[in-house]
Amino acid sequence: MALHIDLTGRVALVTGGSRGIGLGIARRLVAAGATVVTCARSEVDAPEPGTRHLTCDVRDPDSVAALIDRIVAEESRLDILVNNAGGAPYALAAEASPRFHDKILGLNLNAPLLVAQAANRVMQQQSGGGAIVNISSISATRPSPGTAAYGAAKAGVDALTVSLAVEWAPKVRINSIEVGLCRTEQTDDHYGSDRTVAAIEATIPLGRMARPEEVGDVAAFLASDLASYVSGAKVACHGGGEPPVFGIIVNQQEQG
């Protein structure tokens, strides 16, 4: 019998799920049969087919509590949480204000914990428990100049993941995905010309950035019964990562 990811009957929440990586995740969960709710601070003109969109500030406890209560009231359960909302603009650490760093840490570390707590309270009462997938970053495991607070926050997300996987077992499984560079609607605005993007992609072992749906495939797997014995794991989705500088130098010398 062929293996396939089946999330039929599961209710999933994807934070920051209306665009970018979050949208790719939402699409793959829908394709696997899940009932998917996305959330963001603002409304969307047209929700992705198969999803329902609600507004929520994931940094605000009251807003998060209202969101989870509404999902449970309307769907009777919550089986999957994907903590995807996050991000950070470029800012050198020596020049950024304390308020700026507080906001980055609040969105990328405190908010995932806040939403996870609310989801866990529901999942612990369900016979089937639940699964939480935290979207982390390659920035958690290597220097992140220009986004130092973001990298520190994502390292915190990884630490949070392994600790909660112990605290909330056996009813709730929690894993994180270490996401590398990913092509989204903001890629060109962030990196500039196609030539610049191509140069960046040439440094990735697989030769290109990820597609949002590829991150979604990993999230769908971790949320499914195929990953029923996977908890507290950090799953890399970065195309092989970023080669160390000495590797690039050696390769250039061999080609020269």
Q: What is the DSSP string of the chain?
A: -------TT-EEEEETTTSHHHHHHHHHHHHTT-EEEEEESS--SSPPTTEEEEE--TT-HHHHHHHHHHHHHHHS---EEEE---------TTTS-HHHHHHHHIIIIIHHHHHHHHHHHHHTTSTT-EEEEEEEEGGGTS--TT-HHHHHHHHHHHHHHHHHHHHTTTTEEEEEEEE--B--TTHHHHH-SHHHHHHHHTTSTTSSPBPHHHHHHHHHHHHSGGGTT--S-EEEESTT----HHHHHHHHHHH-
Q: Give me the architecture of the 11-255 domain, per CATH.
A: 3-Layer(aba) Sandwich (3.40)
Q: What is the pLDDT of residues 69-90, one digit of tens each?
A: 999 999 999 999 999 999 999 9
Q: For the segment 17-55, what is each residue's pLDDT rounded down to a tens digit?
A: 999 999 999 999 999 999 999 999 999 988 889 999 999
Catalytic-labelled residue, pool 90, 150, 191, 229: 150
Domain range annotation of the chain: 11-255
Mean of all residue pLDDT scores within the chain: 93
User: Residue 229 catalytic?
Assistant: no
Quote the pLDDT of residue 200: 86
Residue ranges, the chain, pLDDT below 70: 1, 188-192, 244-256
